[in-house]
Amino acid sequence: MNATRSTFAGLALAALLALPGCGATLRLDTDRPHSLAASNEAESTLRTHLSTHIPQGESGFHLLHDGHAALAARLALAQRATRTLDVQYYLFHNDTTGRMVAASLLAAAERGVRVRVLIDDIDTADKELRLATLNLHPNIEVRLFNPFHTRSTNLLVKGWQALRESVRLNRRMHNKAFIADNQIGITGGRNIGDEYFDAHNDLAFIDLDVIAAGAVVDNLSQSFDTYWNSIAAVPASALPVRSSEKRLQRVADTLQRFRRSQLDSDYGRKLTAADPIPGLLSGRTPWIVAHADLIVDPPGKVLKRSKPTSQLLMGQLAGLWIDPTRRALIVSPYFVPGAAGMAYFQYWRSHGVQVDVLTNAFAASDVPLVHAGYANYRIPLLEAGVSLYELKPAEDPIGGRLRDLGSGSSRASLHAKTFVFDDAYVFIGSFNFDPRSALLNTEMGLVIHSPELARQVTAIVEDAMRPERSFQPRLIRIRERGTVVKQLRWHDVHEGAVRVFDVEPETTRVQRGLLRMLQALPIEEHL
Active site residues: 174, 176, 181, 415, 417, 422
Strand locations in 220-353 (E)? 233-235, 288-289, 291-296, 327-331
For residue 471, give the H/E element and its range: strand 470-480
Cα separation values, 225 from 218, 351, 417, Å: 10, 41, 24
**In one letter, which amino acid is 395?**
E
What CA–CA distance (Å, rounded) separates 405 from 197?
10
CA–CA gap between residue 444 and residue 493 (Å, rounded): 36
Q: Per DSSP, what are the bridge partners of residue 500? A: 491
Torsion, Cα 267 269 274 277, to 10 degrees, reads: 120
3-state secondary structure of 449: strand
DSSP state of 249: H
Determine contact, residues 333/432, Cβ cutoff 8 Å.
Answer: yes
Element (H, E) at 270: helix 266-274
Using alpha carbons only, what angle is made at residue 471 by residues 470 and 476, rounded to the nearest 5 degrees?
A: 150
Q: In whole angstroms, what is the distance from residue 187 CA to residue 238 CA?
A: 28
In angstroms, the Cα distances linking 455 to 63, 99, 175, 293, 423 are: 11, 35, 25, 19, 6
Contacts 24+ apart (CB under 8 A), 495-502: 495/396, 495/397, 495/398, 498/467, 501/471
Close Cβ partners of 372 (under 8 Å, ≥ 6 residues apart): 515, 518, 519, 521
